[in-house]
Structure 1
Amino acid sequence: MEEARVQRSFPVKPKLKSKARTPKQTAESKYWSSFKTQQIPDLISVPSLTFSPTAPHSFAAAHSASLTLFSAQTLAPTATISSFSDAVSCASFRSDALLLAASDLSGLVQVFDAKSRTPLRRLRSHTRPCRFVHFPRLDKLHLISAADDALVKLWDVAEETPVAEFLGHKDYVRCGDSSPVNSDVFITGSYDHVVKLWDARVGDSKSSLQLNHAAPVEDVVFLPAGGMVATAGGNSVKLWDLIGGGKLVYSMESHNKTVTSICVGRVGRDFGEESNQFRIMSVGLDGYLKVFDYGALKVTHSMRFPAPLLSVGYSPDCSTRVIGTSNGVIYASKRRVKEIEKEKVSESSLFWRVAPLEHTEKKVLRPSHFRYFRRGQGEKPSEGDYLVMRPKRVKLAEHDKLLNKFRHGEALVSVLESKNPGNVLAVMEELVARRKLLKCVSNLDVEKLELLLAFLHRYCTTPRYSRLLMGLTKKVLEMRADDIRGSQALKNHVRNLKRSVEEEIRVQMSLQEIQGIISPLLKIAGR
């Protein structure tokens, strides 16, 4: 039977070449990547970041024995408070942003006027370093503090006296948060692995609820609805259902090292239908920022920074994100504002406004209209039009042209001289499909055979090519044994080929030995 000679109008492509998996860019990844990051250097370790709850949402950063205030618009420092005798550990704005409280490692808690930075109150009662201070969200008269003396205290700010002491923890208390729906309820986390829910209306030291995180608790926050909390410790962030009696809902273990800080933030209004949803942002000593969608129970975005991360903050207006590191650099990110949003004018600033024109559909052109025959190439097709596209001309390489002319041997030599392994494999696969590869190998002269052996020596042990090339190597050695014996150059190529194959066999045997050692350990660990 005569071979059907069909002209190919498309280039050959390798079938065995592995495709690189590129991560799919989701809408949420685009949203979080749109924050333009800049560095704020020349600080010392930043253990705490907090945003003002009122516009323009400035933020405060604790570093060394100072507390620096930054503008959320320019990300530039506006003021520094230095009236501390020891390193500042935590800071918190009151709900109206008029007062700012800060604690330090001497155990002292100070309350400042947020505008003038004047010290108003000095609350001294803790005997060990004070690690946590917080203004309740719905209460302007009291303040919560916790320290390494395992004590949690509720202060009357005006009187400078503790209203209540809570003695349930057995180790350092490092974090806490207040309920967004009840001013008397708050939660604290300790290095005794326990998170406790407190009610200020109960006079004794017994907690209302206790959660076991199974690792030293570094941070804890209430979720916006108030019925769930998120705790961070070890390499995990856990969700707990308070209404269900403290039931563990989910454990997110995406970090490789200790999670140091978490915060809850809402995605911006320009995110689409999910703009009313909230996310948990966590940072850890592994240098990663993780964005966790606790509605879908999955990590939706991840970002790497070149230093261990200690703190994270997110502005209430969804425009600014700040991250504090152990080397004293703050990575502050601003959301890029679209030109459309810049051009918006407030309705209150106008005396009158023109009603927007209603959207009207373009009149459909019919063959009875003169304009129907005057349409040019710039006319955009409407729905229902059938597009006749001119096929794009495909540029063929030299080996593709030779394959079209059924000059198989010349095609193989041409692609071997190009030194592109992907194209060589594609041509070989095409020749295998045409049952011409072995014939081409048998017809190669000594010089071209040397080119083929050099290619086999270089790529026959590559995993993505070895399936085809190892079998071809065996056939080449069998078919051209006499030519190889008569040429010293071919002997050298075969010797190098044998050496690379033996080396690959040794590597594979070593990997099997390692697998045999690890497999029993994994089975024991799985139990």
Structure 2
Amino acid sequence: MAAEVTPLEQVRVPVAPSALTADQKYWASFSSQLLLPSQNSAPIINIYSSSASQYKSASSVTPTSSYIAITTSQRIQLLSPQTLKQVKSITRGGTNSSPYHSAQVRRDGRICILGTDSGQVQTYDTNSRAILKQWDEHKQPVWVTKWHPKDLIGAMSCSDDGTVRLWDLPSEASTWKGYGHRDYVRCGTFLGDGNLIATGSYDQTIRVWDPRIDGGNSEGNTSSRATVMQFKLKAPVEAILALPGGNTLVGAAGEKIAVLDLVAGRPLHSMQNHQKTITSLAVASHVAGIKYPSPVLSLDVVTAGPQKEDRHLCVGTQSGLLSIRTRLTESVMKARKEKEKEMTALMEGKIDEYDQRQQKKKGRGWEKRLRGTKDYIGEGADIIIDGDAGRKRGKKGATWDVALRKLQYGLALDLAVNSGDNIGILTVLTALVHRSALKTALSDRDSHTLKPILKWLNKHIMNMQFIRLKADTAMLVLELYAERIGENLEFDEQIKELHNKVRQSCEVAQSCLGTLGMISLLEADGGSDR
């Protein structure tokens, strides 16, 4: 019984490492940055976005407007996330006016709450820019003001006076006070549905508060019963961030980031990549490192869409520049790539070929739909198209594989080269070398049958993959047909091009050898020093 003939196994080309990681490719999809200078180059100390997707699951209230709030000195700018242009501005001038430190627009887009350097907490109507409420209980600058995640009239504030306070919009005074921090309170946030509060202080602690418990009655009360959890860090806490779910808290202390498990009440791990103090935290879908020319004071990632995808990366700097990088949608990226292909074809004089390819793509749309239909029955059942009819037949083997089995080596090489399949060509050449039949396959050719082989060699000779196989093939061609140089102009041009490509490869190899020699000397010197 004869053994079954199996198809020739194709060679495997080693996969080169990707030039960019998945995270780098993701952040490369962000467009070039838009730079917006602040008035009088004032540092941008706070950025906060209130987008519709942010609060979709937090409340039944649907935002009517969304803003990116930018805080600079005595001015609050409200930018549109769609156009990135200023739509509102809140400014209070005069000698007695106090710089703003924080701003957040309520999720319905109607009211903005602010914290000032004088200790005041103010709320503004975003349409009329009129002051709706002003509280003066804090004795020192207020660096944090945030709206309750569910209650439209609830808010919180944190101050350099060491206190944390909750506010009710109709009330004339704070509804809850938290005492316990022994230094400036520079960051704070609601946790989960807003029943708990987390704050960070320059006393190197992060406290978790339960406002349903009395927070203390005097500034001297440092053992408040409302503190349900406390974490001690190694540096002043500049920023904290509650991760989605409300069970994990991230705190920035010095140049380190601490990840805290609120369920177990213990730190999970610490991260350190920055060289200087971390001033702001935000949640992003991927990890990236981006360098800015000036110290970064504030940042936020603006999300959009039902999947809450990253849309804008907003960064505020000490120099007063607001940097906004926008992530391009998939459709925009496809259109941009297609435009680049069109411009390349235009520059190379191949615009007619490009137009023909585009017309073919458009024409194939209906064909693809019909192929994907198992049984398409036309009106009155006059036309029946079986989309899977051709798939029931077995897969036909490569034609060059059949020629190899019949020992037709020259034909097998021609079929592989004419197919344009690089893997197939390398597979055939490898098989011919193993069978000592490469010379037979290349012999008795004229300039017409040699042309595709030389063209393939010229295209791929500088690729280092399978370089030995390509070099042996080129050497054999020259050995067999060197005497024909000068007889055919087209053949001479191909040989000249091959010569230039090989010379360029040799120059690159020579440079690499020189570099390798220098590295060897350095390694030798290092070994002698030790």
TM tier, smaller:
0.5 to 0.7
1:241 matched to which residue of 2? Answer: 261
Which one of 66, 83, 91 corresponds to residue 92 of structure 2?
A: 83
Distance across 1 between alignment mates of 2:99 and 2:298: 18
Tell me the residue number matched to 2:349. Answer: none
CA distance in 2: counterparts of 1:169 and 1:508, whole angstroms: 64
> Are residue 205 (structure 1) and residue 201 (structure 2) matched?
no
Q: Which residue of 2 aligns with 1:436?
A: 437
Deviations 1:277-333 (A, max 9, x none): xxx75787629xxxxxxxxxxxxxxxxxxx999212458987797635233548599
CA deviation string 1:171-214 (max 9, x = no partner): x754321233564x311235777533235524233554333677
Matched residues in 1 for 2:432 and 2:242: separation? Answer: 66
Match of 1:378 among 367, 381, 384: 384
Q: Which amino acid aligns with 1:168?
A: H
Answer yes or no: is the 8 Å Cα contact 1:144–1:152 preserved in 2: no
Q: For 1:511 and 1:194, how far apart are their aligned partners in 2?
A: 53
Q: Tell me the distance in 1 between the aligned counterparts of 2:132 and 2:497.
A: 87
Note closer, same or farther for the CA distance 1:19–1:439 as it changes in structure 2 (3 Å cut). Answer: same
**Contact (CA 8 Å) 1:191, 1:216: kept in 2 or not?**
yes
C-alpha offsets along residues 381-428 of structure 1, whole Å, 9 cap, x if unaligned?
9xxxx967465998999x899879865447657977999866653442
State the one-letter code of the partner of 2:433: V
2:131 aligned with 1:111: no
1:286·1:309 contact (CA, 8 Å) conserved in 2? no
Other structure's SS at 1:210 match? strand
What are structure 2's unaligned runs of at least 5 residues?
A: 39-43, 56-60, 316-321, 332-376, 487-491
Match for 1:210: what amino acid?
Q
1:177 is matched with 189
**Whole-Å Cα distance in 2 between the matches of residues 156 and 79 of structure 1?**
25
Q: Give the number of aligned pairs.
A: 421
1:385-424, aligned counterparts within 5 Å?
A: 389=391, 408-409=409-410, 412=413, 424=425
Aligned to 2:509, which of 483, 504, 509? 504
What is the distance in 1 between the residues matched to 2:384 and 2:274?
Answer: 53
- Residue in 2 aligned with 1:187? 198
Q: How do 1:289-328 residues align onto structure 2 when only pairs under 5 Å count?
A: 310-314=299-303, 323-326=312-315, 327-328=322-323
Q: 1:316 to 1:322 in 2, by over 3 A?
A: closer
Secondary structure of the equivalent of 2:465? helix
From 57, 63, 68, the counterpart of 1:56: 63
Identify if the C-alpha distance between structure 1 residues 471 and 77 changes in structure 2 by more than 3 Å, giving closer, same or farther. Answer: same
SS in 2 for 1:17: coil
The structure with the largest helix share of the pair is: 2
Corresponding residue of 1:168: 181
Q: 2 CA distance for matches of 1:517 and 1:38?
A: 40
Aligned pairs for 1:509-520 (under 5 A) are: 510=515
Q: Is the 8 A contact 2:182 2:222 kept in 1?
A: no
Offset at 1:152? 4.2
- Shift of the 450–140 alpha-carbon distance from structure 1 to 2, 3 Å rule, reads closer
Instruction: Indicate conservation of the 8 Å contact 1:409/1:443, yes or no.
Output: no
Task: List aligned pairs for 1:113-128, cutoff 5 A.
Answer: 113=125, 116-123=128-135
Match of 2:469 in 1: 468
Give 2:157's aligned residue: 145
Alignment of 1:355-370 (within 5 A): none
Per-residue deviation at 1:129? 5.9
Aligned to 2:11: 15
- Distance change in 2, residues 1:413/1:73 (3 Å): closer
The match for 2:290 among 283, 286, 290 is 286
The verdict on how the C-alpha distance between 1:433 and 1:51 changes in structure 2, with shifts beyond 3 A counting, is same
1:378 alignment partner AA: I
Give the Cα separation in 2 of the matches to 1:79 and 1:511: 61
Look up the equivalent residue of 1:82 and give its one-letter code. T
What is the identity, as a one-letter code, of the residue corresponding to 1:312? V
Q: CA offset at residue 102 of structure 1?
A: 1.5
CA distance in 2, matches of 1:156, 1:227: 24
Q: Supply the distance in 2 between the matched residues of 1:440 and 1:483 (Cα, whole angstroms).
A: 17
CA distance in 1, matches of 2:504, 2:310: 56
Counterpart residue type for residue 91 of structure 2: S
State whether residues 167 and 175 of structure 2, in contact with CA within 8 Å, keep that contact through their aligned partners in structure 1: yes
Deviations 1:48-88 (CA, angstroms, capped at 9, x unpaired): 22358632352232224544557789998764433365765
* Closer, same or farther: CA 213–58 of 1 in aligned 2, 3 Å: farther
CA distance in 1, matches of 2:254, 2:445: 64
Structure 2 counterpart SS, 1:464: coil
**Matched residue, 1:47:** 47
TM-score under structure 1 length normalisation: 0.54
- Distance, in Å, in 2 between the alignment partners of 1:193 and 1:460 is 62
- Are residues 194 and 239 of structure 1, via their aligned partners in 2, closer, same or farther at CA, if it must alter by over 3 Å? same
Write the distance in 2 (CA, Å) between the matches of 1:21 and 1:499: 24
Q: Secondary structure at the match of 1:261?
A: coil
Q: Distance in 2 between matches of 1:508 and 1:91?
A: 60
Amino acid at match of 1:175: C
